[in-house]
């Protein structure tokens, strides 16, 4: 939470006014009375400093009165009401926003914060960068001791845990339905826990297929078409031929294809079913991933370094990866050669559902009513199409608002997200995610068979008997 200084000056003649602000630092310079006897020249200098300070205080009072005079005059002519002017003359409402953004994303966020301040001069927004690995832990501690920021920009997968610990404020009563109607539904799911809204998404990441348009002028629609990309090169030895696909196998990147096999992680009631009623679909999904690992025309591996090295060397003609990594493939293939498409289907009637991972703005529950109101208003501002368009144009971030106009190079990501699913917070619940991830990693690493991994997950998910 940003500090709201209300310190008072120690000099009797100006004890009713806030302390002056020190040069450059923004910290209050509290002056205390001189004590004890002092040489005459020091006492004279001190008196002159007091006199000068008193004159500055009087000048500040005079300046403070000017808006009030202006307000009265404008209100009598009907040009403006006295209420906004009174608010403008008050101490600005401070909002501190913690984030882990950098580079172009941070520049875009800063532009929007300053634009909001210009339209709302009663609010001051301070963007405070945090190291991504430590941000949530530091936020937890700061909320506990009352020093936390008013706003937190966090990946949506952490919203459930923050809500459970009551470290983000519920927002359902703060946003009218029409405000959220045009927000991408899967992104909004990442800001909900159950039916309760705990934040608003302002951008998102999603899985897409990047492909080299020099090798395939049109995007592969199915996995069979994708795997056939290097068909003309298969006379070469396997270690020398180009790869049809490079695919980093982790739970988040492969879950879209669980849906293609008819499986789900949790049912409509939020109960995990992947190792119980849905275990047949889960088994088919895991066996398919093992088949990909054995295909010599594909590099499907849990070793990110190996997958990335093959992609960066230009050996892979397509890659399944997150939307924010487009620039990586522009460097390899050339900007004009990078194709972007939705994930290919297993078959025409077996489409995957890629995950949407939103960045969510949340409010610290330990805030004053004025700060909470200002924070909610800033959230609405960040959802406006114009704000969303600036994020896209300045940093390449994908907007969550359906009416935002974006450049042609962003449009394929928006189209891909239309077929997506949200990473809902009951999936990221540790009691669900941990056995799901353990099962996945055991199979992909070869440590366990599919049937053994499913049996272990089933046992882990069984409720503990009550004594």
pLDDT 10s digits, 293-303: 999 999 999 99
Which pTM was predicted?
Answer: 0.76
Summarised one tens digit per residue, pLDDT across range 193-237 is 988 999 999 999 999 999 999 999 999 999 999 999 999 999 898
Of the given ranges (38-42, 239-243, 368-372), which has the lowest mean pLDDT?
A: 38-42
Cα–Cα distance for residue pair 219/225, rounded to 1 Å: 9
Mean pLDDT of 410-425: 83
Cα–Cα distance for residue pair 1/366, rounded to 1 Å: 9
Percent with pLDDT over 70 in the chain: 79
Contacts (Cβ under 8 Å, ≥6 apart) of 166: 365
pLDDT band at 465 (very low <50, low <70, confident <90, very high): low
Q: What is the pLDDT of residue 425?
A: 66
Summarised one tens digit per residue, pLDDT across range 329-363 is 999 999 999 999 999 999 988 999 998 999 999 99
CB contact burial 272-307 (16+ within 10 A = b; e otherwise): bbbbeebbebbbbbbebbeebbeeebbbbbbeeeeb
Q: What is the pLDDT of residue 464?
A: 63
15 φ, ψ (degrees, to nearest 5): -65, -10
Cα–Cα distance for residue pair 266/272, rounded to 1 Å: 4
The answer to whether the CB of 257 falls within 8 A of the CB of 287 is no
| Largest interatomic CA distance in the chain | 99
154 φ, ψ (degrees, to nearest 5): -140, 155
The residue written with tokens 């045009």 in the block is 182
pLDDT band at 182 (very low <50, low <70, confident <90, very high): very high
Q: In a 10 Å sphere around its CB, with 0-12 CB exposed, 13-18 middle and 19+ buried, how is residue 453 labelled?
A: buried
Q: What is the pLDDT of residue 76?
A: 30
Mean pLDDT of 98-122: 97
Nearest to 256 by CA among 454, 416, 445: 416
Mean pLDDT of 83-102: 78
CB contact burial 200-232 (16+ within 10 A = b; e otherwise): bbbbbbbbbbbbbeebbeebbeebeebbebbee
- What is the pLDDT of the chain when averaged over all its residues? 83
CATH 3.40.190.10 in the chain, residue ranges: 93-203+363-411, 204-356+425-461
Residue 155 has pLDDT above 80, yes or no: yes
| Residue, of 171 and 41, whose pLDDT is higher | 171
Q: What is the pLDDT of residue 426?
A: 65
Q: What is the pLDDT of residue 396?
A: 93
pLDDT band at 268 (very low <50, low <70, confident <90, very high): confident
Cα–Cα distance for residue pair 131/110, rounded to 1 Å: 17
Cα–Cα distance for residue pair 110/95, rounded to 1 Å: 13
Q: What is the pLDDT of residue 127?
A: 98
pLDDT band at 34 (very low <50, low <70, confident <90, very high): very low
Percent with pLDDT over 90 in the chain: 68
DSSP track, 148-213: --SEEEEEGGGHHHHHHTT-S---TTTS-HHHHTTB-HHHHHTTEETTEE--EEEEEEEEEEEEET
Residue 40 has pLDDT above 90, yes or no: no
What phi-psi label fits residue 263: left (phi over 0), alpha (psi between -120 and 50 degrees) or beta? beta
Summarised one tens digit per residue, pLDDT across range 390-409 is 999 999 999 999 999 999 98
Q: Would you call 136 helix, strand, or coil by DSSP?
A: helix
Q: What is the pLDDT of residue 194?
A: 84
The answer to whether the CB of 208 falls within 8 A of the CB of 354 is yes
Q: What is the pLDDT of residue 322?
A: 96
162 φ, ψ (degrees, to nearest 5): -65, -40
The answer to whether the CB of 122 falls within 8 A of the CB of 140 is no
Q: What is the pLDDT of residue 49?
A: 46
Q: What is the pLDDT of residue 84?
A: 52
Of the given ranges (78-92, 359-373, 446-460), which has the lowest mean pLDDT?
A: 78-92
Q: What is the pLDDT of residue 33?
A: 28
CB contact burial 88-106 (16+ within 10 A = b; e otherwise): ebeebbbbbbbbbbeeebe
Q: What is the pLDDT of residue 462?
A: 84
The CATH number of 204-356+425-461 is 3.40.190.10
- Residues 30, 35, 37, CA angle at the centre, nearest 5°? 145
**Can you name the residues that pair with 28 across neighbouring β-strands?**
21
Helix and strand totals (H; E) in the chain: 17, 12
The answer to whether the CB of 432 falls within 8 A of the CB of 415 is no
Q: Considering only the top CATH level, what class is 93-203+363-411?
A: alpha beta
| Residue, of 53 and 313, whose pLDDT is higher | 313
Tokens standing for 467?
A: 């004594």
What phi-psi label fits residue 36: left (phi over 0), alpha (psi between -120 and 50 degrees) or beta? left
The residue written with tokens 């927000």 in the block is 183
- Between the alpha carbon of residue 154 and those of residues 107, 203, 204, 421, the distances in Å are 17, 11, 11, 19
């Amino acid at each position: 939470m940003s500090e709201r200084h209300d310190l008072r000056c120690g000099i009797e003649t100006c004890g009713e006014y806030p302390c002056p602000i020190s040069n450059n630092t923004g910290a209050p310079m509290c002056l205390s009375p001189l004590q004890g006897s002092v040489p005459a020249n020091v006492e004279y200098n001190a008196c002159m400093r007091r006199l000068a300070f008193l004159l500055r205080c009087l000048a500040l009072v005079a300046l403070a009165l000017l808006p009030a005079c202006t307000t009265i005059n404008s209100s009598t002519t009907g040009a403006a009401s006295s209420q906004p002017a009174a608010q403008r003359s008050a101490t600005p409402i401070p909002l501190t926003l913690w984030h882990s953004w950098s580079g172009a994303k941070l520049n875009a966020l800063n532009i929007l914060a300053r634009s909001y301040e210009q339209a709302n001069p009663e609010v001051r927004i301070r963007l405070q960068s945090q190291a991504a690995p430590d941000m949530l832990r530091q936020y937890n501690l700061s909320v506990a001791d009352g020093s936390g920021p008013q706003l937190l920009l966090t990946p949506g997968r952490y919203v459930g845990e923050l809500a459970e610990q009551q470290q983000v404020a519920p927002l359902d009563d703060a946003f009218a339905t029409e405000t959220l109607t045009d927000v991408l539904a899967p992104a909004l799911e990442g800001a909900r826990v159950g039916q309760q809204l705990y934040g608003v998404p302002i951008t998102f990441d999603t899985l897409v297929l990047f492909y080299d348009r020099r090798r395939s002028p049109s995007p592969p629609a199915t996995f069979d078409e994708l795997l056939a990309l290097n068909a003309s090169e298969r006379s070469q030895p396997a270690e020398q031929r180009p790869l049809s696909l490079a695919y980093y196998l982790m739970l988040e990147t492969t879950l879209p294809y669980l849906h293609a096999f008819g499986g789900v992680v949790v049912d409509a009631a939020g109960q995990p079913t992947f190792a119980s009623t849905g275990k047949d679909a889960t088994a088919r999904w895991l066996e398919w991933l093992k088949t990909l690992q054995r295909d010599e025309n594909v590099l499907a591996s849990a070793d990110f370094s190996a997958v990335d090295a093959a992609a960066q060397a230009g050996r892979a003609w397509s890659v399944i990866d997150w939307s924010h990594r487009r620039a990586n493939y522009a460097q390899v293939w050339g900007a004009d050669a990078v194709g972007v498409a939705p994930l290919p289907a297993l078959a025409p009637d077996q489409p995957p559902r890629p995950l949407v991972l939103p960045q969510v703005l949340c409010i610290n529950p330990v805030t004053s009513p004025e700060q909470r109101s200002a924070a909610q208003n800033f959230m609405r501002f960040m959802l406006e199409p114009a704000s969303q368009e600036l994020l896209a144009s300045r940093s390449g971030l994908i907007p969550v608002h359906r009416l935002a106009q974006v450049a042609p190079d962003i449009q394929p990501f928006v189209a891909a997200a239309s077929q997506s699913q949200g990473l809902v917070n009951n999936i990221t619940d540790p009691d669900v995610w941990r056995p799901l991830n353990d099962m996945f990693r055991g199979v992909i690493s070869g440590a366990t068979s599919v049937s053994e991994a499913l049996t272990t997950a089933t046992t882990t998910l069984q409720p503990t008997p009550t004594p």
